[in-house]
Amino acid sequence: MVAGQEIGEEEIRCTVVRPGKLTARARVFLPCEITAELPALSEKDLADLRWAVEAGADAVIVPCVRSAEQMDAARAAAAAATSDGSGAQLQLFAKIECADAVTNFNGILGASDGVCIARTELTADIGPVKAVLVQKMMIAKANKCGKPAFCGSPLLGSMCARRVPANRPNQVIDEAGLPPVGEAPELVRAEVNDVLNALVDGADGLMLSYETSVGCWPIEVRETLFHSLAL
């Protein structure tokens, strides 16, 4: 976590408040009072949406949704991507990841074909306890409206890669003491509880993210998740 000190035209100088590992192509979490001033859809969002329509996608998840108006803008952009307006048939799912989205959830749900609850981002914005309660509320409302609700971000984070120091081959670089690469980590009990809790809440789907996109165990993660669901 960092705190801004000097704001320039093309850069922001910050002070590290809470140390952590910085990786390439990582996302930046901004407070809602800052994101509220940003446009509903960036130029890249619009370009991605047009590409999805042209590629024949069935559905798209709209990120960083803060209001129903943002979903309306996305639907209008999808319709404009085709000469006959058929792009309006593209299903649009709102990604819920900030406090504003929670406040405006009823309107967002009404303007969407479904919702994707991004728990990591929500936790960063509203705290872990509220995030758990909000998940239950949103899934229940989506179920009542007959619209799908998905949970993600992440589900099986413990099953990602662990590195071993070259000078200490038997020691894992991980405060949790998880196994190194070469041995697929076992599922953590808290993660089993998280997955099953989402199902009990009524979630229609569970979405893996970096566990399969950049993790070392994408196949094992999928098999582990399926095994958990089968129980």
CA 23 to the chain's CA centroid: 17
Taking only the tens place, the pLDDT of each residue in 14-46 is: 899 888 777 666 666 666 666 666 776 788 888
Task: State which H helix or E strand residue 62 sits in.
Answer: strand 59-62
Expressed in percent and rounded to 5, the helix, strand and coil fractions of the chain are 45, 15, 40
pLDDT at 195 over 80: yes
Cβ neighbours of residue 152 under 8 Å, at least 6 residues apart?
116, 117, 118, 119, 206, 207, 208, 209
pLDDT value at residue 214: 74
Q: Express each pLDDT in 11-22 by its tens digit.
A: 889 899 888 777
Q: Where are the domains of the chain?
A: 30-153, 155-231
Residue 140 pLDDT greater than 50, yes or no:
yes
pLDDT tops 80 at residue 87? yes
Average confidence (pLDDT) over 183-205? 84
Token duo for residue 209: 């993210």
Of the ranges 115-119, 158-162, 180-184, which one carries the lowest mean pLDDT score?
180-184
State whether CATH 3.40.50.970 applies to domain 30-153.
no
